[in-house]
Amino acid sequence: MKVESKSSSLGGVCKQILEHVGLKGFSQEDQFAVHLALEEAFNNAIEHGNGGDTAKSVQIDYSIDDQRIEIRMTDQGHGFDPQKVADPRLEENLYQPRGRGLLLMKAYMDVVQYNPQGNSVHMVRFRHLDTPSTPSP
């Protein structure tokens, strides 16, 4: 689906994708991870990729089966090299406002890959089994 490059466009997309994730029986943990990654990727696409240009759009494609959730998000920007984004965990970058979204996407998704141009991210979350709580003796 193609959506406008503005933050208010994400609500309906998130709702649609998360409804499908829920219908497939994914855990709350999986749903949270996908929601967070969607928000971070979309915000990066509109702010950094499309440069805040609301005349541009973001293409979001997804598929969900019983074992995984796959999302591809592509903006109309020139792209970037994810290897050149500074690690926000390093002391010299702690107060810099960049890089945290990529870090969160990598932490919550099992696969995060960019196309060679750097304007499209492919993310995969595999079904994570809920750990049942064991009653204490």
What pLDDT was estimated at residue 95?
A: 75
What pLDDT was estimated at residue 92?
A: 77
In the numeric block, the tokens 């649609």 are attached to: 16
**Distance in angstroms (rounded) separating the CA atoms of residues 42 and 47:** 8
Determine, yes or no, domain membership for 38.
yes
Query: What tens-digit pLDDT sequence spans the chain (137 residues)?
Result: 999 999 999 999 999 999 999 999 999 999 999 999 999 999 999 999 999 999 999 999 999 999 999 999 999 999 998 888 777 777 777 777 677 889 899 999 999 999 999 999 999 999 987 544 334 44
pTM: 0.86
Instruction: Give the domain CATH number at 23.
Output: 3.30.565.10
Determine, yes or no, domain membership for 131.
no
What pLDDT was estimated at residue 132?
A: 40
Determine, yes or no, domain membership for 112.
yes
Region for residue 12 given its phi and psi (left: phi exceeds 0; alpha: psi -120 to 50; beta: otherwise): alpha
The parent domain of residue 54 ranges over: 2-126
DSSP symbol at 66: S
**Tally of domains within the chain:** 1
What pLDDT was estimated at residue 94?
A: 73
Using DSSP's 3-state secondary structure scheme, residue 85 falls into: coil
Determine, yes or no, domain membership for 44.
yes
